[in-house]
Chain A
């Protein structure tokens, strides 16, 4: 029996898309606090403002993050959400689950929480949505002792890393994104659980430039798979596409009649560098001119494949607008080997080069992308011990306000005006 009337939310039970309201009402049968979630949300729908108080600092001993505290501003009306903390649970790389593991986690949340979750938070964590302070330690105890897994990150630290599904189910993966993601998550447990940074820092791992985990937009450190040799072409398969026997783009446009596949129109003419052509019935690619954008491979997955010499490009500094405007990550290292053999030592070296510097010079609540802007890319490249390359810019600067370091200029900067006057009277 509904504890509060929810006429506005009831409207969201209509329509074909699965309704969170219907789902929450079902859960309320065993977790009555869900009625209070609905009740308070209904009040927000009426008042058109949030009814959560500002902030909230809760957690478990030993960690400086992992749980987001939250309190209702109308606890008397909705006692079930007086405390409504969310617990971030570290998710397996690639978001695969066994039902055994998921059921274990759900039993845990059944015991200690509201019964509602987010699958998943934008950073990747499994989110347990809503519990009381006194439940946090017992929940953490059972999570670590019975399910042998851990919390995710929150605060000014390394947040929970995440990845695309990589080699597990994609023919385009240029490195094992799941394995790197897991390895570095384990390697940096201390940095995840105990905030030691000027601000938050995120890793994301996409195994090719399609960037299915949006690393270039949503991580301070983005590792994006690529290759440095030639795209592999199966000419027989190219002919099958031209003949219409294989669906273009793996059938992604099958719902509409776009006419017969036209390799010139759909591939050659859309190549951003124009480095492809047909010759004697064969597809040719001038790989030296290819920027590895993935378009031709996306359109003809059975005929074209990334090269065999695989690795990744390192891009650094993406962030949302606050404070100085949104940033995509900037390409810093064009190609890095990503090898399980050396336990990703070279990836770790790059990360720690960024951290050693940013932890010193980063201002309070300054994302690394903003620190890069403040000091300038040339300075950052020197920090990273990377040579300045034309690939680092979309275009060279157009203003002439160029800094030179004193040691770069013959004779240095210490000059005597008297000396100058001997040749040039005032």
Chain B
């Protein structure tokens, strides 16, 4: 018996939830849960956790593109069956972790993974650049201003050396969101890649009354740029909306609510870069990422402008920051004016906040450093 479309509620099972996590734990994990003593990073991508019992759990972390096929997952399963008693896990940044209880099988596992070219690159631990948390982009979403999988691949190819090493002052978290709904972690990452629009929505007057609940579209605007309006379609008056282009900052939230207000555009759309966010409470409190590059063009397939800016920031940070200092902590210590100077990023008025509580971000002090940016005011 299977699903019967004529009796849809017949035999239906609901509200089962996920499988219980305890069915999924490798034996060494199940035996020592809650009784771990300490851990150590043996090499980039390789961890050992030592339990109070003396048991050891070796973990090998490998990078994954997140968008993966059945065949890829079956290959992961083959590896886990061979070396890990049929268990594996994924991390909160979409890496894959294989666990074993012996050094020997861990070494054999590593040798095997390395033999598969870089399909399963080992790394992502310690002061490294680990996987990029990202979104759907052009592969599945209807509101993106850029792609996700493509720019992530381009950036990770370029920064690959930092995935399999631990040479940075602290871990660097990179995230990408293809629009400012910011699905994922873009608002609190060391480096954030954000898809943005720069043109107001078009209004499809011919469709709007049929597909849209107009008051929802109006209330979807953070800046009150949308108002109800009448429009003429085929000589007939219809209820529609009008967008005040001067007040629109192209967030796209009206399109989320109303299919008749599309705004995607090949030339208008692109990428903004934000930096300095963090989630952990270690040393400093969690921080939001801040906008430092307002626009880079969409240049598929490899987004060279975006890749180049990110590499520059990583390299300057790696050279200049102190041990344990996250990018945001470093930028705040040296001052944002120095951040822009050192990273050679031109400062524009787009980085100056002008939304509601903006005033708190302006400099109400005489404390600042002279940089290249102030040269016009210091020369005779």
Which A residues have a C-beta under 8 Å from some C-beta of B? 8-9, 11-12, 14-21, 23-24, 26-27, 30-31, 34, 37, 41, 44-55, 61-63, 68, 70, 84, 86, 90-103, 106, 109-110, 115-120, 122, 129-130, 137-138, 140-142, 144-145, 147-150, 162, 164-165, 167-171, 173, 176, 178-179, 182, 185-186, 189-190, 193, 209-214, 216-218, 247, 249-256, 258, 266, 270, 272, 291-295, 298-299, 301-302, 320-326, 328, 364-365, 394
Interface of B is mostly: loop
Considering the chains assembled together, what is the distance between the CA atoms of A149 and B259 in angstroms? 34
A247 to B86, CA, bound (A): 32
User: Which of B73-81, B338-346, B371-379 is near enough to bind chain A?
Assistant: B73-81
Nearest B residue (CB) for A44: B138
A53-B142, A99-B77, A129-B67 are known contacts; what are 15 more A-B pairs with Cβ within 8 Å? A16-B121, A19-B65, A54-B259, A61-B8, A92-B20, A97-B24, A116-B67, A117-B69, A144-B16, A169-B29, A169-B49, A179-B21, A255-B166, A255-B167, A325-B356
Q: Chain A interface: which of B225-233, B235-243, B295-303?
A: B295-303
How many angstroms between the C-alpha atoms of A302 and B48 in the bound complex? 13
| Count, A-B residue pairs, CB within 8 A | 408
Q: Is the CB of B39 within 8 A of A171?
A: yes
Is B250 interfacial (CB 8 A cutoff)? no
Selected from A55, A96, A256, A293, the residue in CB contact (under 8 A) with B282 is A293
Complex alpha-carbon distance, A264 and B222, angstroms: 48
A-B CB proximity, top 9 nearest:
A252-B126, A15-B157, A48-B266, A27-B69, A54-B259, A90-B18, A44-B138, A255-B166, A189-B15
B102 part of interface (Cβ distance < 8 Å): no
**Which residues of B pack against A, CB within 8 Å?**
2-3, 5, 8-9, 11-21, 23-26, 29, 33-34, 36-42, 44, 49, 57, 59, 63-74, 76-77, 80-81, 86-92, 94, 96, 99, 118-121, 125-128, 133, 135, 137-144, 147, 149-150, 153-154, 156-157, 160, 163, 165-169, 171, 180-188, 216, 219-220, 222, 251, 253, 255-256, 259, 262, 264-267, 269, 279-286, 288, 298, 300-302, 323-324, 355-357
| Contact assessment for B87 and A182 in the assembled complex, using a CB-CB cutoff below 8 Å | no
Q: Which B residues are CB-close (under 8 A) to A44?
A: 138, 147
A242, B222: Cα distance in complex, Å: 54
Q: Which of A9, A92, A169, A213 has the most CB of B within 10 A?
A: A169
Establish whether residues B8 and A110, one from each chain, have CB atoms under 8 Å apart when the complex forms.
Answer: no
Is the pair B40, A247 in contact by a Cβ cutoff of 8 Å?
yes
A249 to B288, CA, bound (A): 25
Cβ of A325 to closest chain B Cβ, rounded Å: 7
